[in-house]
Amino acid sequence: MSGNDLLALGLLLVAGFLVGGVVSFGRARRWIPAGIVAVLAVLAAVAAVLRLVPA
């Protein structure tokens, strides 16, 4: 695995943990932190996909 592959895998793992945080905050009906964590999860997932797509 190359460095880009490892970075993309790490970013996908971070995005997964952040999605878990969104679910946790959503169940507690805390919508502002859930929205912030959702935005961070989307950014991490997009960054991972951009790392995997060749330039």
Structural domain tally of the chain? 1
What range defines the domain where residue 27 resides?
3-52
Please report the pLDDT score of residue 20 as a whole number.
95
Residue-by-residue pLDDT tens, the chain, 55 positions: 788 889 999 999 999 999 999 999 999 999 999 999 999 999 999 999 999 887 6
3-state secondary structure of 26: helix
Q: CB under 8 Å to 50, separation ≥6 — which residues? A: none
The model carries a pTM of 0.85
Taking every pair of Cα atoms in the chain, the longest distance, rounded to a whole number of angstroms, is: 41
